[in-house]
């Protein structure tokens, strides 16, 4: 790749770091600007010294949660001047807005790469609480996305649909979140766990919030328990606004683990049988991808970007109606058919390869310069 690409994204997260490292490994001339080191509500940190790509983490003045200001904008402008292609990962922050306007004025090729832009449903930390005011500012913030970007890279079908509402706009292409999933491929299941062999183990891993659907998991667990199902267990890994109230749940099928670091989550993928991901909104959903790469079938919803792209009858169940009953029915299927779980393993792993970092490098090359 002869052209130099500059990514401007939010914070260093594992999957993006892995993609940027791999692009650098294959001689793509890229540089990454992270507008912050750790955003509100995130607990996992990545050591910048481990990066194998050229990067700059901007300093910030944090006002509240997602309200922050980068005071090193001159560095951003300098990097834009020295680059040929600018790939923007968000639109709402002041830094991203400045970057898009500057790129347009300098006649740079501008690409917008994002999850759905219709707003995060059930968001606990809203930038602007007033719905009308929030909609007004979103329309203004989307002006450079609509009029300045030659291409819009959609992270899944849900993002495509939200981009299409901007039309006329730049050319819409699909470009997912890609990551190195090889560390998950060997997490094969066996019966060497502490649990009795006929007990199926479900895993919920994520924020304990309404948006992530933990309430549906709790209610579904109660339905199953009341219907006489005892040969299952639900492990809940995570923290969040509902944590304290959920800890008081006395049902013996539930086990709250609290916050679990990344390495611990990988061990849980190995230990558990089915991932529960009944989110009411998730732009993508990396846990779903990682579970599939570990050979785990997933129960999820059409509100999850990765589920829409990757989930089918051979690797999981899509809940069409978000309700405790439908969640319980999906769980009951696996409880009654645990012997079939081994049939899902190869299908889950094969599907996950669609978003393995190798596929991301190949498609990046095609999108940027036609595969040359």
Query: Could you tell me the CATH number of the domain that includes residue 210?
Result: 3.40.50.2000
Cα 149 from Cα 151, distance rounded (Å): 5
Same domain for 28 and 155?
Answer: yes
Same domain for 88 and 103?
Answer: yes
Burial 220-231 (b: 16+ CB within 10 A, else e): bbbbbbeeebee
Same domain for 224 and 306?
Answer: yes
How many CB atoms within 10 Å of residue 131? 10
370, pLDDT greater than 80: no
The crossing angle, in degrees rounded to 10, of helices 341-352 and 286-293 is: 120
- The pLDDT tens digits for 193-231 are 343 357 899 999 999 999 999 999 999 999 999 999 989
Which residue has 């009308």 as its token pair? Answer: 132
Same domain for 304 and 193?
Answer: yes
- The pLDDT tens digits for 49-62 are 889 999 999 998 87
Same domain for 256 and 330?
Answer: yes
- The pLDDT tens digits for 236-295 are 999 988 888 777 776 778 999 999 988 889 889 988 999 999 999 999 999 999 999 999
Same domain for 286 and 137?
Answer: no
Same domain for 98 and 195?
Answer: no
Q: What is the mean pLDDT of residues 325-332?
A: 96
Model confidence, pTM: 0.90
Domain count for the chain: 2
Task: Tell me how far CA of residue 260 lies from CA of 222, 233, 264, 266, in angstroms.
Answer: 24, 18, 6, 10
Same domain for 154 and 248?
Answer: no
Same domain for 163 and 230?
Answer: no
Q: What is the mean pLDDT of residues 60-82?
A: 86
Same domain for 72 and 191?
Answer: no
**Could you list the residue range(s) of the whole structural domain that residue 141 is in?**
5-180+356-369
145, pLDDT greater than 60: yes
DSSP state of 197: T
SS3 content of the chain, % helix, strand, coil (to 5): 40, 20, 40
Same domain for 22 and 169?
Answer: yes
Instruction: Look at residue 245 in the predicted model and tell me its pLDDT.
Output: 76
Instruction: Look at residue 49 in the predicted model and tell me its pLDDT.
Output: 84
Instruction: Look at residue 132 in the predicted model and tell me its pLDDT.
Output: 73
Give 120 or 329, the one with higher predicted confidence.
Answer: 329
- In contact, 118 and 162? CB cutoff 8 Å: yes
Mean pLDDT of the chain: 88
* C-alpha count within 13 angstroms, C-beta hemisphere, residue 239: 8
């Amino acid at each position: 790749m002869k052209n130099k690409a500059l990514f401007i994204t939010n914070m260093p997260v594992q999957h993006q770091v892995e993609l940027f490292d791999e692009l650098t490994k294959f001689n793509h001339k890229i540089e990454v600007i992270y507008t912050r080191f750790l955003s509100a509500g995130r607990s996992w940190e990545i050591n910048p010294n481990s990066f194998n790509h050229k990067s700059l983490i901007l300093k910030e003045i944090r006002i509240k949660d997602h309200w922050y200001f980068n005071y090193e904008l001159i560095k951003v402008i300098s990097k834009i001047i020295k680059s040929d292609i600018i790939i923007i990962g968000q639109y709402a922050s002041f830094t991203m807005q400045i970057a898009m306007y500057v790129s347009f004025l300098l006649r740079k090729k501008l690409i917008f790469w994002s999850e759905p832009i219709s707003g995060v449903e059930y968001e606990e930390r809203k930038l602007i609480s007033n719905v009308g005011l929030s909609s007004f500012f979103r329309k203004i913030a989307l002006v450079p996305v609509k009029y300045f970007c030659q291409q819009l890279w959609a992270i899944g079908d849900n993002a495509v649909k939200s981009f299409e509402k901007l039309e006329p706009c730049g050319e819409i292409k699909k470009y997912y979140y890609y990551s190195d999933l090889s560390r998950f491929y060997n997490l094969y299941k066996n019966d060497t766990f502490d649990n009795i062999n006929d007990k199926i183990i479900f895993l919920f891993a994520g924020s304990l919030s309404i948006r992530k659907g933990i309430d549906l998991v709790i209610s579904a667990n109660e339905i199953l328990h009341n219907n006489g199902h005892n040969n299952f267990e639900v492990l809940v890994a995570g923290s969040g606004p509902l944590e304290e109230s959920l800890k008081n749940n006395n049902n013996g099928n539930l086990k709250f683990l609290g916050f679990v670091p990344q390495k611990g989550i990988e061990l849980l993928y190995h230990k558990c049988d089915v991932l529960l991901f009944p989110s009411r909104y998730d732009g993508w959903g990396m846990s779903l991808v990682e579970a599939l790469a570990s050979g785990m079938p997933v129960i999820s919803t059409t509100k999850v970007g990765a589920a829409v792209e990757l989930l089918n009858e051979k690797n999981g169940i899509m809940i069409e109606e978000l309700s405790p009953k439908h969640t319980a029915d999906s769980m009951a299927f696996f409880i009654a058919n645990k012997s079939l779980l081994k049939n899902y393993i190869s299908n889950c792993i094969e599907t996950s390869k669609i978003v393995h970092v190798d596929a991301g490098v190949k498609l990046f090359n095609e999108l940027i310069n036609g595969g040359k």
